[in-house]
Structure 1
Amino acid sequence: MSRLRVGLLTNPTAASGTAHRVGRHVAHLLRLAGISVVDVSGPTAHIAHARAVVLRDTLTALVVVGGDGTISLGADVVAGTPVRLGVVPAGSGNDFARALDLPVGAPEESVRRILQAMSRPVVAIDAIEISSALEDGPPSRSLAVGNLSLGFDALVNARANRARRPGSARYTVSVVQELRRFSPIPYWIEVDGGEREEVDASLLTLCNTGVFGGGMRLVPDARVDDGALRLVTLAGLGRADLVRFFPRVYRGTHTDIAGFDVRRVREITVGLRDGRSLRTYADGDPRALLPVTARVLPGAVRILTELRAPAGSACP
């Protein structure tokens, strides 16, 4: 009998319920390989998280089946522990899978790679810790492994989550709809303990993978294992320019556009200068209202895959 015990966390609603079916198939494949599988899934993310935490110390690995939000939920469970994270992409966008070159729509191949990685040296990736910076608000903390959206992309994410269109199409349509009434947002930021800066930006995003929106490669050469995040700002573009900007992001040909800037950061606090209420989004899910503080957690998540160098070796 194998001593390996794996937790299985499936999002029952991801990809219109497809992930639930994929999760049953993954459990069957793991058991065929001699792995002891315990299902920690639940009707809500909160319940699934609690179940996984209770059993975490008994697990060799936690395998998550779902989209980016489910992956970040699993990462939050295992971060800072010896438990390794396996990913079977089964969401609508699957941006984390795209960034790490994981097989999408191929659960057998996903399980094969997870089983192979179990016998190989540990691979660790960075994570983003997000906490509320509101002085009079309730404390909050969450984890992300992809990207933290802080402005226009957060507004688009909120609209896309309400849409019924499948896959990346809903994000593309939401970009067009949100552009109709959008204007640059007045931020203040504090980077790595430095002085407060004022920034008027059309886009402000903190990236670990740099891939979001169903395949947009905002930072094509971002790495998830270098102990740093990428702060992306886009300033000085009007609505017509933004309409032309986003199609180029899918191709990764936008990095030479005037006003597009990428900075390596380890910690940042972001707020608004005009007093409006704006909710941040990370890995497809709503997070804290601005202002927030986000910092990199180097090597926080042990993941069951191999990391491949991105196209282009230079880091911005």
Structure 2
Amino acid sequence: MTSEITLFVNPTAGRGRGAHAAQPAARALRDAGYSVRTVLGADAEDALRRAREAVGEGTGALVAVGGDGLVSLALQAVAGTDTPLGVIAVGTGNDFARALGLPVRAPAQAARLAADALKSGLIREVDLGRVGERWFGTVLASGFDSRVNDRGNRMRLPAGRMKYDLAMIAELAAFRPVPYRLTLDDGTEREIEATLVAVGNGTSYGGGMRICADAALDDGLFDITVVGDCSRTTLLKVFPRVYRGTHLSHPKVTVHRAARVTLAAPDTTGYADGEPLGPLPLTAVCVPAAVRVLAPDPAERPGPGR
């Protein structure tokens, strides 16, 4: 393996944290004996093109410095290749890093972990979801949560997370359950009224909302969380439990496990890793061991007090 590592940087991630994080990350990688080149892009399309070029030229690893949006771009470049992916999580959500057990907003520490994994050859293979040609690592969201995203993306002000808080309030006021048709592995169709349906390769979205709390990145299956037809009052009671993952025990919540799922619902957009995929219907497939990541295996993570 080449000793050159490519830093794939989003300088605007986390309100500028991406630019600041690149320097300590690069320093830690160089201290570990690697040469480092940095890839930026004028826009997402240009950044992805440059990342794919680095992978095609045989870089030793692609290390994404940013948030889940940049990680999503990086996945498009490395999925299905032998090039391992490192994650220096400095964005707003950082859900893929959380699922991998990697440090958040600690760029030097995350870079040292990536270097150690490369040196030791302990590179973990994890699953990815795929919709058409698009890969995703965390959650495909649809329903109430995707409508909040839709509304937030249309709002020019305020900036940051406050925009989506206001969008959530507005969507609650207009809230109606959605008629869904779910088709799982065996081809059986389920017609349901649902508040939302989330297809989880990873456990969380939105910066730690554990909507698919029991999902595993290496079991070859999605966890599909369905929040059924519930009132605004019930939704307001259930929603805070998502951060702890305890919503899964609520009688309005059901979980299916499948390697393939088709979601159909009227006037509903699908979002994966926080990025719009387009309107439903969409079919997602779980691809086992689709990407190699510079992250500790869960069995090898230190326990409490170690």
TM-score (norm 1): 0.87
Match of 1:247 in 2: 240
Match of 1:32 in 2: 31
C-alpha spacing 1:100/1:170, structure 2 compared with 1 (3 Å): farther
Matching residue within 174, 182, 191 for 1:198: 191
Three-state SS of the structure 1 residue aligned to 2:298 is coil
Structure 2 stretches of 5 or more lacking a match?
Answer: 300-306
Three-state SS of the structure 1 residue aligned to 2:297 is coil
Q: Which amino acid aligns with 2:107?
A: P
Give the deviation of 1:201 after TM superposition.
Answer: 0.4
Q: Which amino acid aligns with 2:138?
A: G
Match of 2:257 in 1: 264
Question: Does the CA contact (< 8 Å) of 1:19 and 1:66 recur in 2?
Answer: yes
Identity of aligned residues (%): 39
Give the deviation of 1:158 after TM superposition.
Answer: 3.1
Q: Which amino acid aligns with 2:141?
A: S
Instruction: Give the whole-Å Cα distance in 1 for the aligned partners of 2:3 and 2:186.
Output: 43
Three-state SS of the structure 1 residue aligned to 2:248 is coil
Question: Does the CA contact (< 8 Å) of 1:128 and 1:294 recur in 2?
Answer: yes
Match of 2:150 in 1: 158
Match of 2:93 in 1: 93
Three-state SS of the structure 1 residue aligned to 2:91 is coil
C-alpha spacing 1:165/1:258, structure 2 compared with 1 (3 Å): farther
Question: Does the CA contact (< 8 Å) of 1:92 and 1:166 recur in 2?
Answer: no
Instruction: Give the whole-Å Cα distance in 2 for the aligned partners of 1:172 and 1:295.
Output: 31
Match of 2:84 in 1: 84
The C-alpha deviation readout for 1:88-130, integer Å capped at 9, x for no partner, is 0011111222222211111111011111111232211110101
Instruction: Give the whole-Å Cα distance in 2 for the aligned partners of 1:145 and 1:255.
Output: 21
Instruction: Give the whole-Å Cα distance in 2 for the aligned partners of 1:202 and 1:47.
Output: 37
Instruction: Give the whole-Å Cα distance in 1 for the aligned partners of 2:238 and 2:186.
Output: 31
Three-state SS of the structure 2 residue aligned to 1:154 is helix
TM-score (norm 2): 0.90
Task: Number of aligned residue pairs: give it.
Answer: 295
Match of 2:304 in 1: none
Q: Which amino acid aligns with 1:104?
A: V
The C-alpha deviation readout for 1:138-167, integer Å capped at 9, x for no partner, is xxx211100001211111233445564545
Three-state SS of the structure 2 residue aligned to 1:243 is helix
Match of 1:291 in 2: 281
Q: Which amino acid aligns with 1:20?
A: A
Three-state SS of the structure 1 residue aligned to 2:6 is strand
Give the deviation of 1:29 after TM superposition.
Answer: 2.7
Matching residue within 204, 210, 214 for 2:203: 210
Superposed CA RMSD in Å reads: 1.9
Give the deviation of 1:170 after TM superposition.
Answer: 5.2
Between 1:122-131 and 1:95-104, the stretch displaced more is: 95-104
Instruction: Give the whole-Å Cα distance in 2 for the aligned partners of 1:215 and 1:184.
Output: 24
Structure-to-structure mapping, 1:1-316, within 5 angstroms: 3-57=2-56, 58-118=58-118, 119-131=120-132, 141-161=133-153, 162=155, 164-166=158-160, 171-272=164-265, 274=266, 276=267, 278-308=268-298
Instruction: Give the whole-Å Cα distance in 2 for the aligned partners of 1:253 and 1:165.
Output: 30
